[in-house]
Structure 1
């Protein structure tokens, strides 16, 4: 068992431009790996890029970033067929699973076809740390706001539901995210929701909020709850990494 209890770090960050590579991992990802508590060997980190159709350049750049960080990297690739004999065994053998952003609607559909949803839940309960950015944050929750269906944001409500909350990502940089999230919580389409500005993440132990952490000096985190027929937003204290 990697962690003492199921752990998720859901973020709007963790990846940045690299100096000698296209990308490098930022402190939110480093912290997710630290949460796994690996000692005496390189952490095993599996990248999942389903949300961008297993784009080969994305997978290459993530692998490069992982090697620079000193991780023992692998991918779970689903297009055009799974690249491992057993998805379940591969995910259970990881310390951290990191999910790339992109289309959360497509990600959820493809995962369910291949049973990745079931395997991820088993890995999470076994102590594998789950993390990721954007779609790789929303997916762990009941749902959130997405541009999966077009340029006008829409709700997605069929997330994996490991966490019984909604999730708002890119809360400070995409101006339509916040008002839509508020309206979805207010009318009951989404449950009470945790939201993150860019560069901020939420740590959950089990299904409970543990803390908000940030890799930048100014990003915020918020809890949006239903109050009558309206939404109430409360800022959450953020610890700077």
Structure 2
């Protein structure tokens, strides 16, 4: 017998998931608008996660966020998939509609762009360097190109950067560049999309590409400065950021999909860092 949830439940699925700040963010959103809803985190089995997410919705779950390592493996569960999720090749947000159908969306890219706009650190025609050609970079390329930026992408395995640049070239100006050729380009914004900071390591880039006005953004977040942020500061950057703002904004876009309300970002930041 399936025991139904007693209140409207939302969840984030991942493995590992203990570190996730999503419940704190979303439960604050609910409190902000007096919603009698709850957001939880679920450590899903790597072999049976589709069954577990299906059960979650059968028990009355209304929406879910999907994080590593399941973002690229959830498509078969969805009845409808948004354009941005299709282009990104990954899904981080699910919504169960009143007719029982599941919508799959990706709010990572729009969340990242929203955070850059929130901090006023992006303009059209900016030269952006994305370090890394994995799933994290895939999620942000389309919104940045659509906004009107020029993207350069580099990766330790250069062929992966070439594949991404070719795939997204129809949406705007994007070019793959060898690490050793980066020094000849003036970058307005450098984005670390690799997982190097998780292990306190650095991506393979030269300090020569970092200038005083260069904005540096690590998509990874932690309670202190990441290794990438410290590296960029040491070599002169006066503007460094981590991914907590992206997390808040992608959560806000998920919340909007579920509730048709875009939550107050300033109040959320104040709550998280009080």
Please give the range of the TM-score, normalised by the shorter of the 2 chains: 0.3 to 0.5
Larger % of strand: which?
1
Q: Which has the larger radius of gyration?
A: 2
TM-score, normalising length from structure 1?
0.35
Larger % of helix: which?
2
